Chains A and B, each alone.
Chain A
Amino acid sequence: MAELLSSPVNPAFALLIAGFLMALLPDWRQRKFVALAAPLVALWLWMQVSVFGSYGGIHIAAIGLDLQPFRFDGLSRIWALIFIIAAFINAIYSLHERDRVQDAMAAIYGGSAMGAVFAGDLLSLFVFWELTAITSVFLIWRAGTAASRKAGMRYLVMHVGSGVLLLAGAVLLHSQTGSWAFEHIGLETGLAGWLLFLGFGIKAAFPLLHSWLQDAYPKATISGTVVLSSFTTKMAVYALARGFAGEDILIYIGMIMTAFPVFFAVIENDLRRVLSFSVNNQLGFMVVGIGIGTTLGINGAAAHAFADVIFKGLLFMSVGAVMLRTGTAKATELGGLFRSMPFSAFFCLIGAAAISAFPLFSAFVSKSLILAAVADEGHWFVFGVLIFASAGVLEHAGIKIPYFAFFAHDSKKRPKEAPWNMLLAMGIAAFLCIFLGVNYGWFYSLLPYPVIYEPYTFVHIVGQMQLLLAAIFAFGLLIRIGLYPPEVRMTILDVDWLWRKPLKHLALWLNAISDRLFAAVENAIDSKIQNAGRSLTALLSPQGAFARIVPGGVLTGWAAAFLLIALFIAYLAKS
């Protein structure tokens, strides 16, 4: 087969071309065919590359420009593969939808995320980086609500801004090194490094730069949220792994990212928002792995990104299925759905087990790489926080999502089971969650560096089970006692439950404050956008001051005044 292609072709093109094609295809059957075929073609192209290297470089000697749009190495290989898998599963999941814009944009979005991962130079990276922003925003807008329109606008501002920071950093870096190559950058490059770091950080949802995620994802369309959760943040993690591996600051940023969403997620009522917080939390683990920067740490980040795309996608898919059938994702309005949606409930439980890192599930073999890397370097405090966060994952994602959606008190809702295509997509993802956890040898062989690590040791399994069972026991106990108001059924379980009340109130208070804070910030941004828009319109629109049709006399005056200025400058210039 290999001789079919004279030189390797970038798999990203398969998705990009498919996306443009779908924008033109009026018939939904043809579109769905293309949507399913494109990831398969991409996968085939991906398999054709046997040797690591950079292919299809564009070199323009006249201006000394060297673009490397297709660099295939250990790091980009695994990220590209997970994007291909995600694109395929997402295509199945959205088979029942008839939205041309979403079909096209999802494919171009996935293709450009893959393009960014393959980019060997910062200019190509910038182009794909911005393309992901511009295309993904449609997945939010197509929800069609006023809230989604506003959130989409805020999302776009943040993400285009991130691209601008990236470009500014790239230009600065080029002036220092004379090269556009995208290799290890490091913060020691000064302002250039920090600009790039910040640009990556926005998309990776660093603390304080993260609000777009919880803001926009829950407001996107049902399949849109699933697609969004697969690409943007993982692409940013890739960029960090490529450019800033081993930066100590990342360890602490990642640590905060794993811990803080736990507090918000446990008391959040909108299950899609809970999962959005959980995105942050899982990203934190990857960022810590990158910050450690050892081969084990990078392997862990790559493995966890791979596993996360699947299990997080699975959870978003199951909540999406519930939302499709019941019209809501609010914990308070759901419950007892396992009676009529047994398959969805089953797949959701598998996703929950995977994200909670039960043995034999994917996160068990991927997260442990990161924890081992942290332990190897002796960051015990960080290690402790990560263990706490792992327990927190179990609470807010592992138990809360399936419990409130499918079990808990019976909401008396008896919706139909999810459509077959959603079940199929969830089934594939669920299979992969278990497959990766069991066949970890194959999984590890995909990682950037050789792995010498055995996840299924007695100590590790027992330790993990203790953590998980303790957390489940605590949860069961708290439910049993029945002391909890419905919207705060859980609390932080690692600490003595006597501290439950103060902690609960602290969490509630923090939540209220942050809700208000974010609402205020969102309002401020909205009104800034509106104000800026209004004053720009007043000045520059066709009705505006700058564009009005001015009488010739005024124009003449302008010209004369300008001539006068020019004359002054010519005269005043020192001879």
Chain B
Amino acid sequence: MILESIGSSSAIGIDALWSNAAALVVVIPLIGGAVAALLGRGRIAWAWAVLCVLASFILSLFMLNLVLGGETIGYEMGNWEVPLGIAYQIDSLNALIITLVSAMALLALLFGLPTVEHEIDPKKQSMFFGTFLVCVAGLLGMAATADAFNVFVFLEISSISTYVLVAMGAKQNRQALTASYNYLILGTIGATFFVIGVGLLYMVTGTLNMSDISSILAGMGDDRVVRAAFAFIVIGLGLKTAMFPLHTWLPNAYAFSPSIVGMFLASTATKVALYLLIRFLFSVFQTGSSFETAMFDFVLAPMAVTAMIVCSVQASFQPDVRRLLAYSSVAQVGYMLLGVSLGTAAGLSAGLLHLFNHALMKGALFMAIGLAGLGLGVVRISEMRGMGKTMPFTAAGLTVAGLSLMGVPLTAGFISKYYLVIAALERGWWWAVVAIVVSSVLAIFYVGKMIEAMYLHEPAKHADGSVMKVKTPVLSLIALYILVLANVWFFFDPSLPFGLAETAASALIGGEGS
């Protein structure tokens, strides 16, 4: 009798776990963050954070599996019905993003323990992991929710925790404080613009649920308030996406933050903001409306192309490796925005594919640089000399990820650039193809600088002339190589991200243009 009830209740427990997956994927790291902050020691907090993120990752895989089966997962918080309550909705678009964020968070944690112990005050480590979990929860929430105001809430949760995380780099470099402050100012402006836009939409439609807004907007004629809301939301999210010229917060925030934060942000933060931009552009507002097309043609596309070239040149000039990578990130965001601004299904899926691939390559690059910083104290490119000998595995991983960033065949970077070129050609945007080529050539230069320093220069030597050998933490190296191999794997078999991107794109645009 007792056994029976236990058995059945545990069955209910498992069922409840799966049926609430959409909410739990966000709630676990959110609550876990509070717990982590209470755990006194860094390592325990780290283990706890890994556990929480692992749970989120497993749940996201479960949902990904459902979505791949063609389902859309809906979830109503507290069983309040849709227009009133907050709903979560997972389709092929955000299933990809959620999986990406939770996977990158897990890899970041696996990679990051030695760097955190090196870079963060021991007393602050448990707080650090707590904040990190909150940040993960914020990003996952932004991706999962189907409620426009709830997006704002999670946007702020992730942003505020990010400001804290960036500022924690101050032990290494005091500039982290100004970087964090600038990010705070601009991030707040972005969030404000966004919430103003959402407010305007609420004023017109009387609802905050995204699909509800969308269907009401579809029934309405042209409306100036909607147009204003549109501009506010695009610029607000554009700021968080690091759309040129609103990217000025990004290079310093990435470069001066602790290694693990830089790595995690580079591979997720702008990606989630971009996801939201796509969500609002294509599923909330009317695709193909005149103001949206105008925004694509006159703002997004020109700014994307400018970013691709200007920021690539800027990257070539940076002596600081992480700033180099950060400028390259802004340029790569340009690629994604270009794909989006094509306004076709092919363009959108190319942009999404590049979003996914870029997370893989930049994650690996930042990891490798983090390890180089840990082992050799590398900050500038000149300090990477001879890394091919002193840190052969890290250097090899960095090289492969760098090749992916250039877009060399046999790496994932090639696939998405190739697909973007094809999409631009379909639309007849020659100048965009030229910009992609020019920007890729520039990428050869700035990645080449790193490769040259690592392999063609002699390393620093001990007094007796022997080459220094640097030990690299094994767990970090494993995390790095998972990403490096992913960079190669997704060249030969891009069907997972590609299938999701295609499905999402054709659902959002309705297969038009491809």
Contact = CB atoms under 8 A, between A and B. Distances in A.
B495 interface: yes
A167 B417 CA distance: 13
Contacts of A537: 317
A550 interface: yes
A120 B235 CA distance: 46
Q: Which of B234, B291, B295, B499 has most chain A Cβ within 10 Å? A: B291
A13 to B, nearest CB: 12
Interface in B424-447: 425, 433-434, 437-438, 441, 444
B178 A549 contact: yes
B228 A570 contact: yes
Contact of A23 (B313, B388, B494): B388
9 contacts: A62-B498, A168-B437, A171-B421, A549-B252, A555-B186, A555-B248, A555-B249, A559-B189, A562-B246
Nearest to A568: B231
Interface string A166-179: 01100100110000
B128 interface: no
Contact of A63 (B224, B294, B415, B448): B415
Which 3 A/B pairs are nearest by Cβ-Cβ distance?
Answer: A573-B294, A552-B185, A573-B291
A65 interface: yes
Contacts of A62: 494-495, 498-499
Interface stretch (B35-43, B130-138, B318-326, B364-372): B318-326
A124 interface: yes
B393 interface: no
Nearest to A64: B422
A536 B227 CA distance: 38
B448 A134 contact: yes
B495 A571 contact: no
B405 to A, nearest CB: 15
Interface in A546-573: 546-547, 549-550, 552, 555-556, 558-559, 562-563, 565-567, 569-573
Contacts of A571: 224, 227-228, 291
Contact of B189 (A168, A541, A556, A569): A556
B314 interface: yes
Interface of B is mostly: helix
B313 A550 contact: no
Contacts of B232: 563, 567
A569 B299 contact: yes
A542 B318 contact: yes
B298 interface: yes
A174 B193 CA distance: 43
B251 interface: yes
A211 B195 CA distance: 61
B317 A171 contact: no
Contacts of B313: 536, 540
B409 A127 contact: yes
Nearest to B192: A559
Contact of B441 (A160, A547, A566, A567): A160
B294 A572 contact: yes
Interface string B381-400: 00000001100100000000
A67 B231 contact: no
B512 interface: no
A569 B235 contact: no
Interface string B105-134: 000000000000000000000000000000
A267 B462 CA distance: 54
A168 B421 CA distance: 11
